[in-house]
Amino acid sequence: MTKFEDRTAAEALPGTAWLDSARGRGILGRLSDELVAALIRGAQRVEYPAGSVGLRYDETPKAAIVLNGTLRSFISYPDGSQATTRYLRAGDLTGVFAPRRPVLARGVQAIAQSELLFVAAERIRELALAEPSFAWALIEELTTVLNLTQRAMYLRAFATVRQRVVCAIVDRATASGALRVGQTVVGTQQDLAIAVGSVREVVATTLGSLKHEGLVDLRRGGLVILDPDRLVKEADAVVGGVG
C-alpha cells in the first residue's frame, strides 16, 4: 500500500538531503535554484514499496519527480497485457499536466522501494506561463519522454522476444545504477515477461540462452550481469537508429 507522508516540501531548499539524488539530472538539473524552490513549494513526498502502482490513468492530472528508487512506466492493453514505455530513476519526471486524451490505462510501478515528489498540474502550468526557462526545460524533458516512449513502441512492434528481453535488462540495470559486471537486476521471470509483453515460459527460455552464452547468471528473484558490453552491443543493434 502506498504510504503518504504527513509533510510537504514548502520550506525545503535545493540541496537538502532528500532532494540531492534528483537535483543533478532530469528537469531539476535544468533549473536554477530559484525555480527548483518554486517548483517544489507545496509538493508532497510519497513512498512506494516495491511492486506497488501509482499514477493510474483515472487519477487527476499531476506530475511526479522521482527522488530515489527505480520504477517503470507502462500502458495496459484490453487483454490485460502491458507494455513498458520507460524506466525511471532519480530526477526523472512522469505524469501528465492536462486532462488525458485519449484515456489510456497506464501507470508507474515501483521495481524497488521508491519515493516520488508530487507536484500539482496547476503549479506546472503557472510556472510554464510565467518563466520561459522553466517552459523550455519542460519541453526538453517531455521530448526525452516522447523519444523513450517511441523507442518502446518500436521494440514492441518490431523486436524479437530476445531483443526485448536484452533491452529490458540493460534499461533496468542502467536505471538502478551504472551498468557493470556483477550487477544484480531484481525481478522475477514473470515480472520481466510482463514488462516485455511476453509469457514467463518464453522469457525463461530466452534467459536460459543468455546464461548459456555467458551474458547473465540467473538467481532467485533476479539475475546477475556477467558481460555488460555484449548486452549493450546487442541492445544498441536493435534500437541504435531509433530516437
* Burial group, residue 141, by CB count within 10 angstroms (0-12, 13-18, 19+): buried
- The confidence score (pLDDT) of residue 101 equals 63
Q: Which of 100, 98, 94, 99 is nearest to 46 (CA)?
A: 94
What pLDDT, in 10s, does the model give residues 110-161? Answer: 998 999 999 988 899 999 999 999 999 999 998 988 898 888 888 888 999 9
Instruction: Please give the model's pTM, rounded to 2 decimal places.
Output: 0.80
Q: Are 47 and 54 in contact (CB under 8 A)?
A: no
Q: Containing domain of residue 45, as a range?
A: 3-156
For residue 187, which of 90, 200, 214 has the smallest C-alpha distance?
A: 200
182 pLDDT tier (thresholds 50, 70, 90): very high
Do 138 and 26 fall into the same domain?
Answer: yes
Mean per-residue pLDDT for 173-196? 89
Q: Are residues 55 and 22 in the same domain?
A: yes
Give CA–CA dist 43/167, Å, rounded: 34
What cell was used for 155? 521494440
Q: pLDDT tens digits, residue range 24-44?
A: 888 999 999 899 999 998 899
Segment 55-105, tens digit of pLDDT: 776 667 778 999 999 999 988 877 777 888 899 999 999 987 766 666 667
Q: What is the rounded distance in angstroms from the CA atom of residue 29 to the CA atom of residue 75?
A: 27
Give the residue-averaged pLDDT of 160-187.
91
- pLDDT band at residue 230 under the 50/70/90 scheme: very high
Q: Are 235 and 115 within one domain? A: no
Give the chain's domain count. 2
Say yes or no: 182 and 145 in one domain.
Answer: no
Average pLDDT of the segment spanning 10-21: 63
Find all residues with CB under 8 Å of 131, minimum gap 6, and list them: 35, 38
